[in-house]
Amino acid sequence: MKDIKSNTYLKKTDVGLSLLKTLDISDIIAYNTIEEYEISENFSTYIGVFGQNFERIDFHVYSASKLTNQNYELKLLMRQGTTIDTLAGHLKLIEAYEFPDFFDDENKQMFIFLYNFDFTSKNQVHGLTIKGTSSVAFYTQDKTARNFWSSDGTLSEYVRTFVGYYFDNKNNSKQNCIFSLQPAGLYTYLPFCESFYSIDKYDNPEYYFINDKYRPFGWQDYDYRNPKKEEWWK
């Protein structure tokens, strides 16, 4: 959140504006269609880490509905290893930013929204809760929200990034939990996870590789040069 506030090219927007009240982004949060101009990634499927060993964790949003203004109810599937769990919770808008000079077309507007997120396992045996902050970067065209992705890495750290904590309610423990559309690769990384990465042999600072130390924690088969997602949720 501090990184977003410090960017001078972003303009904080009043969350009470009529556009923000009427705008519905549920179709881009729970999104399963790939258009020709978009990356071959599913915008509703996330990969990330939790705990000190950066253990892999996967999420898929299969339902999103707008409640009031910019408050959304979501349902997710979560995978840890071979275990799949169902989570339910909500996103609640806390701040909105506009990138006024991003498009030449006056009919398009670029936004970054910050949400509180709070999800709990529907399986009481698992007893887990995930809380934190979500950033969603997207653009509007004809007052309709559309997914955004840039091949040059522009705003990639804000497109779909969740930063928070994984609470195990059974033993009252708390671990870091961070996930996004892609966890590693060109211009792609998870924030606050510096030790999770290593620099490639050509010392390319724009390419983020997973440190071999953490490969045994679910990353054995992850290929950041071909990050096509497995449709495990089906």
Q: Is 54 within a domain? A: yes
Tokens matching residue 40? 């071959």
The answer as to whether 78 is a domain residue is yes
Planar angle of CA 221, 222, 227, nearest 5 degrees: 135
- 219 lies in some domain: no
Query: What 3-state DSSP class applies to 5?
Result: helix
Tell me the C-alpha to C-alpha distance, in Å, between residue 7 and each of 97, 98, 159.
10, 11, 15
Cβ atoms of residues 193 and 209 within 8 Å: no
Checking if the pLDDT of 226 tops 90, the result is: no
In a domain, 102, yes or no: yes
pLDDT at 6: 57
Residue range 170-185, pLDDT digits in tens: 888 899 999 999 999 8
Using pLDDT thresholds of 50, 70 and 90, give the confidence band for residue 60. very high
pLDDT at 41 over 70: no
Question: What span, in angstroms and rounded, lies between the C-alpha atoms of 4 and 72?
Answer: 22
- Phi and psi at 195, nearest 5°, equal -75, -10
120: containing domain: 2-192
Q: Would 197 be classed as within a structural domain?
A: no
Question: Whole-model pTM?
Answer: 0.88
Total domains in the chain come to 1
pLDDT tens column, 4-26: 555 557 888 877 676 777 889 99
Q: Which residue is listed with tokens 């529907």?
A: 122
